[in-house]
A and B are shown apart, each in its own frame.
Chain A
């Protein structure tokens, strides 16, 4: 069922390995960066709201 005869066949992609893997790797990297960025943004917003409401409660 698997099309490839060997792992090195798979990695070489018929000589087009850098193009194929360059596409897939950058896509994975971009998604990973986006996920990290939205989580960081979320944490920053949460903590700034917490600080602010804490300051209000104290007064």
Chain B
């Protein structure tokens, strides 16, 4: 049913996306740089210390954005992988693959910064509680996605197998998000949520949200960049790709 109607989707889309993302990257970089400068100025220089945690709370300005991105990128990756699987859309699969390394790095950073925050706050770098363990599983899901993809020779077969893994792994995202509510965890509850007013001081919240904008823009920039390389790699036998690298 879909096979004949979306030829453009299958063949022209990578080339069009290549051009469009090439235009967008400089804007993403600009937003990332400006938001980082403003966010770090607020977070490190202007915001007061936390009355309970002292200065170590400042890790929040990278910990929370990294943790949010680790979950958002996973959802985006699984969504595009599913689109690639269901509609046989090559570009969607490429974008899913382009998102995975950045998602894995965000997950690593959430764990790393969380660990360095945990030591002065809880007295330990690591504890097997629900929030930390489910975030660690997220890292393994990203690494599993990437290794499964790398292990299969046929590119489209690799796309499809990795997509199945990504889709199954989505179940872990609500577990991470709600773990602090469902179980009695050492990890503190959400500082910001959709249902109630934030429990943070305005400057802290502002700095954290601006840093989140920076992390979003950075993630877009690097995953677009990586996706463009994947497109060239897979379209290497087309005239336009050969023209694009001249």
Q: Is the Cβ of A38 less than 8 Å from the Cβ of B46?
A: no
Complex-state Cα separation, A16 to B54, whole angstroms: 9
B236 touches which of A22, A26, A52 (Cβ 8 Å) = A52
Complex-state Cα separation, A15 to B58, whole angstroms: 13
A8 to chain B, nearest CB (A): 13
Closest residue on chain B to residue A24 by CB atoms: B62
What is the total number of residues of chain A having a CB less than 8 Å from a CB of chain B?
31
A44 to chain B, nearest CB (A): 9
B54 touches which of A14, A41, A42, A48 (Cβ 8 Å) = A14
B59 touches which of A19, A31, A52 (Cβ 8 Å) = A19
Q: Is the Cβ of A45 less than 8 Å from the Cβ of B222?
A: no
B17 contacts the other chain (Cβ, under 8 Å)? no
Which chain A residues lie closer than 8 Å to B228 at the CB level? 42
Complex-state Cα separation, A6 to B84, whole angstroms: 54
Q: Is the Cβ of B62 less than 8 Å from the Cβ of A27?
A: yes
Q: Is the Cβ of A49 less than 8 Å from the Cβ of B241?
A: yes
> If the complex has contacts A16-B54, A23-B112, A34-B105, are A41 and B246 also in contact, measured as CB distance less than 8 A?
no
Contacts from B to A (Cβ < 8 Å): 44-49, 54-56, 58-59, 62-63, 66, 101-102, 105, 108-109, 112-113, 116-117, 119-120, 218, 222, 225-226, 228-229, 232-233, 236, 241-242, 245-246
Q: Is the Cβ of A49 less than 8 Å from the Cβ of B245?
A: yes
Interface majority SS (helix, strand, loop, mixed), chain A = helix
A14 touches which of B47, B49, B105, B112 (Cβ 8 Å) = B49
> If the complex has contacts A4-B45, A45-B233, are A31 and B218 also in contact, measured as CB distance less than 8 A?
yes
Complex-state Cα separation, A38 to B232, whole angstroms: 13
Which chain B residues lie closer than 8 Å to A38 at the CB level? 222, 225-226, 229
B58 to chain A, nearest CB (A): 5
Query: Can you list 22 pairs linking A and B with CB atoms under 8 Å apart?
Result: A3-B49, A10-B45, A13-B56, A14-B54, A14-B55, A16-B120, A19-B56, A19-B119, A20-B55, A23-B59, A23-B112, A23-B113, A27-B62, A27-B113, A30-B108, A38-B226, A45-B229, A45-B245, A49-B242, A50-B242, A50-B246, A53-B242
